[in-house]
Structure 1
């Protein structure tokens, strides 16, 4: 994961991304808009990408949505 991210991250951002990538898969992360926005320095738009990854088999899973919301909150939390 860290080899794909080209911008500095604080510990909260790094922890959120590690959790996200572990659950999502490195290949999906490499191709994601979240990574593209993050590397462009657009952290505000990147954090909103977390909750878009809340589907499985074409439907929203409440537990997955809660996980993504927690990851986004951690990513946005000050140190």
Structure 2
């Protein structure tokens, strides 16, 4: 499987797809989200998309996040590792990923240490979220595969 396919599979599984905008589960408000976790300008209460819009946006976003993750890697990654890191970055943002201990450990050649960092990213708005805990464990498993 390609890195892109790993990332899309994880993102679809954990984000799900909702065609009507909804508030962020962690904050109960901003940022409003739609499709497979898309946020940004124009996404607010009352917005609806077609399935094609959600799929198109996911393709654009995953490509962008994959490029963002690749841009900060200093060591080669397997497709599974790259896909898992892209799924994480999709959820937390490339900037947070770029500043993460996970990336520092990976770039230093400590792959096991990097894998151990995934579960630390299980909070939204300061609260531990069961869904994020489960997602991180799934990403960690893919990363290790």
TM class by shorter chain equals over 0.9
Whole-Å Cα distance in 2 between the matches of residues 18 and 32 of structure 1? Answer: 13
Q: CA deviation at 1:64?
A: 0.6
Residues 6-53 of structure 1: per-residue CA shift (max 9 Å, x gap): 101111111101111111101101111011000000001110101000
Higher alpha-carbon Rg:
2
Structure 2 equivalent of residue 37 of structure 1? 105
Structure 2 equivalent of residue 62 of structure 1? 130
Structure 2 equivalent of residue 17 of structure 1? 85
Matched pairs, number:
77
Q: Name which of structure 1's ranges 52-61 and 64-73 shifts more when overlaid on structure 2.
A: 52-61
What is the DSSP-based 3-state SS (H/G/I as helix, E as strand, rest coil) of the residue aligned with 1:2?
helix
Structure 1 equivalent of residue 61 of structure 2? none
1:28 to 55, 73, 96: 96
Whole-Å Cα distance in 1 between the matches of residues 97 and 126 of structure 2? Answer: 19
Instruction: Note the aligned Cα RMSD (angstroms).
Output: 0.7
Structure 2 equivalent of residue 71 of structure 1? 139
TM-score (norm 1): 0.93
